[in-house]
Structure 1
Amino acid sequence: MRGAAMSLSAAASGFVVFLLSVSVVQGQDDWGVTYTSTEICALKGSTVDISCTYRYPSRINDHITQVKEKFWFTRVSNNDYVDIRSDPEYSGRVQYIFGNNDCTLRITDLRESDSAEYKLRFITNQHNGKYTGSPGVTLSVTGMVTDLQVQVSRLLVYKSYNRAELKCHSSCRLPDHLHYVWYKNRQKMWRGTSSYSVSVYPADSYSCAVEGYEKFPSPPVYAPRVPSVSVSPSGEIVEGSSVTLTCSSDANPAANYTWYKENEVSPKASGQIFTITDFRPEHSGNYYCEAQNRRGRHNSTLHLIVVAGKFLHSATHILYQKS
């Protein structure tokens, strides 16, 4: 199975954008169309190439098969497949690039209204020798880069800071030559590629944007803030009852939680909620919750004691912070 090669070149009105995926063959017997990509995401104003290869029987009933016509379409009107070259919406913006059984549709100056399913249709000299590659290629054109995310691909932990490799990622594949803007604590700090290696501290946040689309930055990523911890039921706790400890922290990416008891190496529980059933005097002591993500970690503690057969808990406080 041979997929058509996609070109990536600068266009006067924008960029060429493409998304490669596993080639999918639409067809049966000796007829078919192989689309190099079945889903493409592109930016408004850019240029996109939609490519495929097609096949057909070389002979039918001793008659040599010849392709008489081939075109791309998105809609059918009165049972007539509308060649997009004749559609006023695409006037001056489409180009067909055909080779030996391969076919590329190039659309320039993309508009959001160009979002549609594109299919190739070819007609031969054979009786009933018409074929449409269906389903086709779904093109999504966006005027905003709104789904950017900062991903932490590598993290080296030191005593007072971390060294991280950050990646500005979008589900809409963008050209490699685009520039990105990086922000630290919402202040512009660097212009460059989609990857950025930086020393990060617990109090810092980082976000990114595509240059020219700075109004649509990614959500900031940051280490967990100081967790808040609470105990239920509040007030005095009767011996033998259940005690539920809860921990929460603002973090992006979301934090993972681990509970420890002071002077014990092994964790007591994982998750935001830690329940101790049949609470006894030996359970009293300092419990602390650690909130951690790939940016760092923070801890808070809760002090539980037993007094005259009843348990009291002190207000939460920070035991220590580290990253």
Structure 2
Amino acid sequence: MNLRTAARGFVAFLLSVPALQGNDDWAFTYPSRNICALRGSTVEIRCNYKYPYATIVEKILWFTNKHNEPVDLRDDTDYTGRVEYSCFRHSCTWSSCTGTCKLIIEDLRQSDSAEYKFRITANNGGALSDLPGVKLSVTDHRVEVIILPRPTSQNWLELECHRMCNLTGYRTYSNWYRNEIQQRHQGYSYWFNINSEYRVSCAATGFEHLPSPSVYAPETPLVGWTPPGVIKEGSSVNLTCTSEANPVAKYTWTKVTTGHPPGHSVQGQQLSFHPIQSSHSGQYLCKAENDLGTKTSSPFSIDVKYGPKHTSVIPSPPGEIKEDGSVTLSCSSDAS
């Protein structure tokens, strides 16, 4: 593989910030402390350096924190055929010389995630920066849709396409999709009407084949119960509400009384009765809600079965019973 040819994929170029060694005769300027690059792409890490004029540079190398002793990446079998140094001297004064050395790693792998440092070996003993090096994180390209805080009294939300890996030197717009169909709209944000039925996703330009997961309001919740079958008084019963949504929905239960507004609300995906009583019979509603909207289930009826109770005998007609008269005795009991 010829690393001097144009690098395949994305190349991350880094802005330099001062990172000087304590000795004034030697100085190193490293890139930013943390960088992120995509698996399979190429990264370029730069170090500007200064050394005394009389110094004879014998060797330069880049190494990682993977080994106990500095190992030249060109001799590290993990980087065979994928590493190149591009180093040159800028200028010299009566006291010092300056130069730049770039480390280029091609076809990045996740195992390349490490801390990288630059070293000079010279005739006077050499110089090694004692400062932290450049921490490289290699990852797959991932994006997600984040929901920005809702403006007051508005039915619209602003969605933003967020890259999980902040690629240095790489700026791009986002493509937006509604129900997996690309929209004409491009940009960093998208306005979503609350309770809309469609699903929204995004992808960075150049990475359309790697879209984010879709975000959407809850679908109509479904209610089930365990254990299945007849609900008997005194048993333990759990109602469970489920709704497909992203972000994950929050659930609220209310009992419906005919002719009255919904009663006390209970939070949670499950509504539990331990034990269930005959007074729990009735209709229940489950509401699923996230930042993008709200949906309510159809009424779910509970009919609690129980044995006879409050049994009594009622004579008719009431009052004193006379001999040769007629009387009817009725037996009454509450049961289901």
Q: What range is the shorter-chain TM-score in?
A: 0.5 to 0.7
Which consecutive unaligned segments of at least 5 residues does structure 2 have? Answer: 1-5, 92-96, 309-336
Summarize the alignment of residues 61-80 of structure 1 with structure 2, pairs less than 5 Å apart. 68=57, 71-74=60-63
- Distance change in 2, residues 1:220/1:54 (3 Å): same
Structure 2 residue aligned with 1:202: 196
Partner of 1:222: helix, strand, or coil?
Answer: coil
How far 1:303 sits from its partner (Å)? 1.7
Letter aligned with residue 247 of structure 1: C
Q: CA deviation at 1:19?
A: 8.2
Find out whether 1:299 has 2:296 as its counterpart.
Answer: yes
For residue 292 of structure 1, report the CA deviation from its aligned partner.
1.5
Aligned counterpart, 1:6: none
Decide which of 276, 288, 303 is 1:279's aligned counterpart.
Answer: 276
Residues in 1 aligned to 2:88 and 2:185: alpha-carbon distance in whole angstroms: 37
The counterpart of 2:108, out of the listed 97, 108, 112, is: 112
Higher strand share: 1
Task: Tell me the distance in 1 between the aligned counterparts of 2:164 and 2:231.
Answer: 51
**Count of residue pairs the alignment pairs up:** 283
Deviation at 1:103, TM superposition (A): 6.5
User: CA shift at 1:233, angstroms?
Assistant: 2.4
Corresponding residue number in structure 2 for 1:153: 148
Percent identical: 35
CA distance in 1, matches of 2:192, 2:223: 31
**1:64-143 counterparts in 2 under 5 A?**
68=57, 71-74=60-63, 81-82=71-72, 89-91=82-84, 94=86, 105=102, 107=104, 110-112=106-108, 115-117=112-114, 118-123=116-121, 126-127=124-125, 129-131=126-128, 133=130, 136-141=133-138
Match of 1:42 among 8, 23, 37: 37
Question: What's the counterpart of residue 157 of structure 2?
Answer: 164
Q: 1:54 to 1:96 in 2, by over 3 A?
A: closer
Spell out, residue by residue over 1:249-279, the C-alpha distance to the aligned partner (whole angstroms, 9 max, x if none).
11112222222223345422x2222212232
Scaled by the length of structure 1, the TM-score of the pair is: 0.66
Deviations 1:15-44, CA, capped at 9 Å, x for gaps: 664689xx9989999999785544422246
Q: Give SS of 1:111's match.
A: coil
1:150: Cα distance to partner? 0.9
Q: Is the 8 A contact 1:242 1:277 kept in 2?
A: yes
> Structure 2 CA distance, aligned partners of 1:186 and 1:95?
47
> Does structure 2 conserve the Cα–Cα contact (< 8 Å) formed by 1:224 and 1:250?
yes
Return 5+ residue gaps in structure 1 as ranges: 1-10, 59-63, 311-323
Aligned to 1:251: 245
Residue 271 of structure 1 aligns with an amino acid whose one-letter code is: G
1:147-183 per-residue CA deviation (whole Å, 9 max, x = no partner) reads: 2111111335979xx4121111122114563122110
**Separation in 2, partners of 1:176, 1:154:** 27
Contact 1:65–1:126 under 8 Å retained in 2:
no
The AA in structure 2 aligned to 1:229 is V
Rate the CA distance shift 1:291–1:25 in 2: closer, same or farther, 3 A: farther
Residue 180 of structure 1: aligned partner: 174
Q: Is the 8 A contact 2:175 2:186 kept in 1?
A: yes
Larger Rg: 1 or 2? 2
Given residue 289 of structure 2, which amino acid in structure 1 is its aligned partner? Answer: Q
* Aligned counterpart in structure 1 of residue 219 of structure 2, from 218, 225, 230: 225
Aligned to 1:260: 254
Aligned equivalents of 1:206, 1:46: Cα separation in 2: 28
Q: Corresponding residue for 1:241?
A: 235
